[in-house]
Structure 1
Amino acid sequence: MELYAHPVTLNTGEQTTLEQYKGKVLLIVNTASKCGFTPQYEGLETLYKKYKDKGLEVLGFPCDQFGHQEPGSDDDIAQFCSLNFGVSFPLFKKTLVNGHDANPLFEALKEQAPGLLGTKRIKWNFTKFLVTSDGKVLKRYAPTIKPSAIEKDIVKLLPVE
């Protein structure tokens, strides 16, 4: 299935696909509000604000599979992100990224950009996937990689002005 065809649900409950992001560079991240990496929301928002008008979309998918670090409802998560980090990039419904019931979008991302030593499993919150404007999953970044360290890779994919 083409990446853009995957059904996704915004944190407002609205069902959609990634089709609306076709032609844009995507940074897709599984997020959590009570994680040691939670401050990365700030870096993600900085990238989003800096490059959204140049063709970048940051897509946040809250996940509670790692240490129960995303216990709140979708409304709680949106409020937390907005109040604490000024998040304006799209947030989606809380989702599973590993296991039998994993979101098919994350299954596709893991298949196209395996982790260290070819592992498919996502190891923790704030794993980031960089997708080219034509829908190819270019790279997976570990949770320890800060958003600012990804900026140079993003810039290479954006249209030259």
Structure 2
Amino acid sequence: MSIFDTLIRRTYWRPKAPAQTRRQMMRVMVFAKATEVRDNSLPPTAEAFAAMDRFTEELVKAGVFIAAAGLQNSAQAKRIILDGPGHTVIDGPFAETRELVAGFSIWEVRDMDEAMAWAKRAPKFMSGKSEMEIRPFYEAADLAEFLTPEKLSTPREGERGKLGVA
């Protein structure tokens, strides 16, 4: 098994608090943005993976970590453009790197300030400039206009994560 398999296949499990407690927290997705250098370069070094693994262990110990994965460069990617009943498929690599994602993490934090504090501690994978984007998930309270929190907090078989709410 390669170091890349270890990074991608590694999973952490931690029991979730009851829904009443969880509602005090927020989930965020942290996007590691690709740069032209990152998208066209070799995978990170063993040292970079070790640094990211240590950081992930800190997130786990703090009860923040939910999931994470790195993505291959855009040469392996496809884009599907939906336009009414039709669609167009575009094969990578993509010339424009501004919107490419190199990887992601999902964290559970108290607020955006805590997410920012953790993001500032993240190790850099590649040389040069790095960029991260942090976006909160919709939670039950955000969707109260459409569905009751009770309906959202008790998923039926096969519906876990419906509408992005865990």
Kindly indicate which of the two structures has a greater share of residues assigned to strand: 2
Q: Same fold (TM over 0.5)?
A: no
- From the CA coordinates, give the structure whose radius of gyration is larger: 2
Tell me the TM-score normalised to structure 1 length.
0.29
